[in-house]
Amino acid sequence: MKKYTFYTIIYTKKGEAARLLCRTDCRTIAMFTLFDSQLKEVLRNTKSIAIVGAKDKEGQPVDRVGRYMLSRGFTVYPIHPVRKNVWGLETFKSIPELAEYLKIHSPQESSPDIICLFRASEYCYEHAIETKESGMKPKIFWLQEGIKNEDAAKCVQELGIRYVEDLCVKIEYERFFPKNFECDLCGVCCEGKNGIVVDNHTDLPRLLNYFHCTEEELDAQYTHIHNNKRVINSGNDGNCLFYDKEKACTIHTARPDICRAWPYFRGNIIDNLSYDMAKSDCKGLRHGKDLTHEDFKKEAAHYLLSEKLTKNKSDSSSANALKYSDDEINLMKEWK
């Protein structure tokens, strides 16, 4: 049967780019378009990504993409059949193994938002079948730059999953959501003692689940009480126990809210001077050289509210840097 494949970028009247993929054979004409606005909307609501073919080999595109997605706050699930640990995260051998893990440990999120493939084109159909058979339904089945597979496209589209091929997820994400703040993993914010508070309502269950341990075991190994709050122990180097110079945060997916929220601390939001000081300490903030304090406040409000990282003033187990009054929360909603 004769087949033709066209792949092109078209532009709408508004100048919006859309990727148009047409397949024609004797019986059917299959076509999908993914307009920039649609892709942007989907990406705006994505929080997790499984990276198939994950490797933390410096200089490789997959390493850059993995680290970037982590720095943008994504939950990253590295998948590799042999490697045990990538970017300080435990790996999954395959898509079905990840599916099993999510069923048990994260029933509310039975699938990552994106399954992103760093595999040769000929293996992608196999991964589409794995996705189908494991019952996963990501928002996007994404083939990185230079990777295409028509059968994989057909397979996932029949499941109602969006298909993207031959594009870099990092480039696309950055294009839609350019960063003013980008963590350089320098570790400065992981230095010092007693600064990393474990919130009893959010962080504690996350850490217990991550370490598969009891509260008593967590306290015996990793945390202690300081000023009536549970805080993470320091290592011999004086940094947070979980900081590793090579790998940065070794518990990235389970890190406490205070770490997720930096640099958007209350002090930096309400006080211009604190913001300037944060800029001089944190290399990541210097990416937004021209970011005014007003812009920073808006960005902070958007991030903290969408990630649900603000705490109530009355919560004694929470970090002060994340506590806001009801009036302040309402103000942030307006900025956002």
The binder of ligand SF4 chosen from 61, 96, 187, 267 (CB under 6 A):
187
335 vs 15, 266, 269, 299, CA distance in Å?
29, 14, 12, 9
Structure token digits, residue 336: 């956002």
Shortest Å distance, C-beta 258 to ligand SF4: 7
The binder of ligand SF4 chosen from 21, 116, 189, 218 (CB under 6 A):
189
Nearest alpha carbon to residue 126 among 66, 52, 56, 190 = 52
The binder of ligand SF4 chosen from 262, 264, 296, 324 (CB under 6 A):
262
In the window 82-111, what residues touch ligand SF4 (CB under 6 A)? none
Residue nearer to ligand SF4 on the CB measure, 194 or 272: 194
In the window 221-260, what residues touch ligand SF4 (CB under 6 A)? 232, 240, 242-243, 249, 251, 255, 259
Shortest Å distance, C-beta 41 to ligand SF4: 28
Hunting for tokens 């991030």 — which residue is that?
303
Q: For residue 296, state whether it binds ligand SF4 (rule: CB under 6 A).
A: no
Residue nearer to ligand SF4 on the CB measure, 130 or 257: 257
Shortest Å distance, C-beta 150 to ligand SF4: 41
- Contact present, 118 and 54 (Cβ < 8 Å): yes
Residues 6 or more apart whose Cβ sits within 8 Å of residue 146: 166
What type of residue is 327?
A: D
Q: What is the DSSP letter of 321?
A: G
Residue nearer to ligand SF4 on the CB measure, 141 or 181: 181
The binder of ligand SF4 chosen from 30, 188, 270, 273 (CB under 6 A):
188
CA count, 13 A, side-chain hemisphere, 192: 7
What type of residue is 216?
A: E
Name the helix (H) or strand (E) containing 332.
helix 326-335
Number of neighbouring beta carbons within 10 Å of residue 94: 15
Its sign, for the CA torsion 113, 46, 201, 198, is: positive
Residue nearer to ligand SF4 on the CB measure, 19 or 260: 260
The binder of ligand SF4 chosen from 284, 299, 304, 322 (CB under 6 A):
284
The binder of ligand SF4 chosen from 120, 171, 186, 220 (CB under 6 A):
186
46 vs 115, 125, 188, CA distance in Å?
11, 23, 28
The binder of ligand SF4 chosen from 114, 190, 197, 322 (CB under 6 A):
190
Interacting residues with ligand SF4 (CB under 6 A): 183-190, 196, 232, 240, 242-243, 249, 251, 255, 259, 262, 282-284
